[in-house]
Amino acid sequence: MDKRRVNVIRGKLLSWYAVEARDLPWRRTIDPYAILVSEFMLQQTRVETVLRYYEPFLDRFPTLRALAGAPIDDVLKAWEGLGYYRRAHNLHRAAQVVAGEHAGELPRTIKELRALPGIGPYTAAAIASIAFGLDEPVLDGNVIRVLSRLFRIGGDPAKAKPRDAMLAVASQLTSSGDASHLNQGLMDLGARVCLPRSPRCHECPVACECDAHHAGEETAYPEQPARKRVPHIDVVAGVIWNGEPSTPGSRILIARRRTGDMLGGLWEFPGGRVEEGETNEQALVRELHEELGIETSVGAFLLDIDHAYTHFRMTMHVFHVRHTGGRPRAIECADWRWVSVEDLGDFAFSVADQQVLSALRKMSRRE
């Protein structure tokens, strides 16, 4: 890209950002820890969702040392509902590493940032440019869309060649200072103007420099890789009672998922996948025996929950279950507890299991 074009795009983008920047709470701070939290939350999650979690999380853990010293259960509880819980584990571990090895100060180089748990190239560059003002380019989904259109960069952006081409132009744009505003300007342009299906080119500050716009091919970029079919699975889960459901003093058995498993560290209503040829009830009895070593009898159906994860969709069939024998053991889980309906809210559950929680609360209010 020639120098004139770099300067024109830089100038127009910075002027636009100065007026149009989204007012986001993590943009009102220069505290590297607060920016670190926002970048972890924004990995794979929309800004609108993060807005509901960011400030309560910082109220609960106002400093890096507060987070580092907190039990992981408290961190997971504050993260409950935000999804991708590996991020919560990584953020907690990253805070502990910074507290232990960097005297509580977030390191300032890309190399040291990349060495922290859960920090990949994007998050390292975002923190380096936004928190420390380093001239580092970032490529997220919004930035990729803008750059691929501005410079008509074809090919699947997940592949090395197109990605390198985008990184090269992003580096040119950010190499003469103001990387923080330029990166965030590109992000905001992608989020508000250069929209995936109907870009608002008439509002775009860099339309005069946009190759895809001149060619009338805005939506041909970035190239969309062929969609893979997302598999669907059926799973069962049991609300396991130690007596009659919802009678005074009755308790529910919950299990904690193993760290390293999907949704690791969260609590769940135990169960598992329905295998071919099994009824839901048979699958539930088998799963509860395998996971906790207990005997059970399956009672009334409670509800079905449909939920989509990144790589699969599931329908979870939830039943009331009676514990009939065997002391629970943590065989395929990390821990277990007998808990009253009122105390379930003290534990961190996945979004799907929170729907079971709501159904139980409604049931208990009715009774």
Could you say whether residue 193 binds ligand SF4 (CB under 6 A)? yes
Q: Is 263 left (phi over 0), alpha (psi -120 to 50) or beta?
A: left
Residue 199 as a binder of ligand SF4 (CB under 6 A): the answer is yes
Q: Is 284 within 8 Å of 319 (Cβ atoms)? A: yes
> Quick check: 201 binds ligand SF4 (CB under 6 A)?
yes
Q: How far apart are CA 182 and CA 150, in angstroms?
A: 15
**SS3 (DSSP) at 189:** helix
Shortest Å distance, C-beta 143 to ligand SF4: 11
For residue 197, the 8-state DSSP code is S
Binding of residue 149 to ligand SF4 (CB under 6 A): yes
130 contacts ligand SF4 (rule: CB under 6 A): no
Q: How many residues are listed for the chain in this entry?
A: 367
Tell whether residue 182 is a contact of ligand SF4 (CB under 6 A).
no
Q: Does 213 bind ligand SF4 (CB under 6 A)?
A: yes
Establish whether 39 is a catalytic residue.
yes
Write down the least CB distance from residue 234 to ligand SF4, Å. Answer: 42
Give the whole-angstrom CA distance, residue 105 versus residue 102.
6
Nearer to ligand SF4, 124 or 146 (CB): 146
**Does the footprint of ligand SF4 cover residue 210 (CB under 6 A)?**
yes
Residue choice 125, 212, 285, 302 for contact with ligand SF4 (CB under 6 A): 212
**218 interacts with ligand SF4 by CB under 6 A:** yes
How far apart are CB 218 and ligand SF4 at their closest, in Å?
A: 4
- C-alpha distances in Å from residue 206, one per residue of 5, 102, 178, 192, 292: 10, 41, 17, 14, 60
If the CB atoms of residues 36 and 207 are measured against ligand SF4, the closer one turns out to be 207
* Given 20, 39, 112, 287, the catalytic residue: 39
**With respect to ligand SF4, which residue has the nearer C-beta, 219 or 354?**
219
Q: By C-beta, is 173 or 207 nearer to ligand SF4?
A: 207
When asked if residue 194 is in the footprint of ligand SF4 (CB under 6 A), the reply is yes
Q: How far apart are CA 187 and CA 138, in angstroms?
A: 9
Judged by CB under 6 A, the stretch of 211-219, 228-236, 323-331, 338-346 that binds ligand SF4 is 211-219
Q: How far apart are the first and last CA of the chain?
A: 70
The smaller minimum CB distance to ligand SF4, of residues 158 and 215, is found at: 215
The CA-atom distances, in angstroms, between 113 and each of 44, 108, 132, 167 are: 19, 7, 12, 19
Omega cis (within 30) before 222: yes
CB of 163 to ligand SF4, least distance (A): 18
Q: Contact between 118 and ligand SF4 (CB under 6 A)?
A: no
Token pair, residue 356, equals 């079971």
User: b/e for 101-137, b at 16 or more Cβ within 10 A?
Assistant: eeeeebbeebebbeebebbeeebbbbbbbbbbebbbb
Q: Does residue 352 bind ligand SF4 (CB under 6 A)?
A: no
Chain residues in the site for ligand SF4 (CB under 6 A): 146, 149-150, 193-194, 199, 201, 204, 206-207, 210, 212-213, 218
Catalytic (active-site) positions:
39
